[in-house]
Amino acid sequence: MAKLKTGALNLISDVPGIAVGNAHDPALKSGATVVVPENPSVASVAIHGGAPGTRDVALLEPEQTVAQIDALVLSGGSAFGLDAVAGAQALLAKRGKGFAIGSVRVPIVPGAILFDLLNGGDKTWGLDETPYRHLGLQAAQNAGEMFALGTEGAGYGATTANLKGGLGSASTLLPTGGVVGALTAVNALGTTTFDSLPNFRAASFEIGEEFGGLGLPADLPPPPEGILSKLSNVESAAQPTANTTISVVATDLILTKAEAKRIAIAAHDGYAHALWPAHTPLDGDLIFVMSTGRRAMTDPVAEMQLLGAYAASTLARAIARAVYMATPDRSDAVPTWQSLYGGR
């Protein structure tokens, strides 16, 4: 089989019909990212973390009535960040998007959040409206084919166990035709690299040198003792300073809601390939899967297997790219991958 290739942008927007917008506030040290399909799209979700924060995800289950969504929102801010969904929803309503109920249209916009409230940003909005509604609105307004990675959008204030987190994306041209893309905000309890080494855990899936081209280390080290120590310390582990990776996987292949659910489950393998540990009781790890429905599968049994595998590998690459492309912001106490290893 020929070597895999990325789409032209190596972004989730290589999937035809997908636009992405970011917005963030440096003083807040947080932000939001909105995925807007050109047309309503089939979507589902798989939640494997023990502490998710979500809005309108129950309707994504295959047995529920609503068949399509109008946008997906990823946001910082913990539960406060769910206000970003309202901002994106307001813009879409103004544009006449949404589920028709008589003369009314209600935009269907599920969302998920990560915890970045203790990262040093100014979160003292008190009884005023949180800034996240505005960030969601702004991100939706910014939606387009091109968008920035690293310290951007929902990943602006994100961290991992040893390095600054961020927003990542990647795409893969499928061998049988079609595209799969991934978008992720990485705020993980665990690590994306092998302890103090610069090598990414997702290195075996890297295409070209999209996150440094270092490959795997010559000798694979054991799991980092610092993380093990933290996890065994109940008081330390219970501090939610860095937990949750939230993601969107998209494809142009036509999927039912049940098939999207199956791909979301398979895509969680990408977390296991790129993060250690993942899916802990203290994180909200989840993956949305959406289909823009532009291309029919010719062999659904075989292509579903390929799509699940490449959804996982593409997401693993996106996670590594999030950390690889993160940049410092003011008062940052967390090192970036580039600050430690970029000069090698």
Residue 128, pLDDT score:
86
Beta partners for residue 106, in sequence order:
99
HSE of 313, CA atoms in CB hemisphere, 13 A: 18
- What are the DSSP calls for 182-222, one per residue? EEEEE--SSBSBSTTSS-BTTGGG--TTTT----S-SSPPP
Q: Tell me if residue 310 falls in helix, strand or coil.
A: helix
pLDDT for the residue 236: 47
Give the list of residues 6+ apart from residue 202 with CB closer than 8 angstroms, or none. Answer: 192, 211, 270, 273, 274, 316, 317, 319, 320
Question: What DSSP line would sit under 3-17, residue for residue?
Answer: PPB--SSSSGGGSTT
| pLDDT of 331 | 67
Query: What is each CA distance from 76 to 69, 167, 241, 300, in whole angstroms?
Result: 21, 11, 12, 36
Distance CA 219, CA 215 (A): 12
> What pLDDT shows up at residue 265?
98
Q: Which residue has the tokens 């969107």?
A: 248
Residue 114 tokens, joined: 């990560």
Q: pTM of this prediction? A: 0.95
Query: For residue 65, what are the CA distances in angstroms to 99, 110, 249, 257, 281?
Result: 11, 14, 22, 11, 30
What does the DSSP assignment read for 70-121?
Answer: S-EEEESSGGGGGHHHHHHHHHHHHTT-SEEETTEEE----EEE-B-TTSSS
As a whole number of angstroms, the distance between CA 165 and CA 242 comes to 9
Numbers of helices and strands, H then E, in the chain: 8, 12
Q: How far apart are CA 154 and CA 156, in angstroms?
A: 6
Q: Point out the residues of the chain with pLDDT beneath 50.
A: 1, 234-241
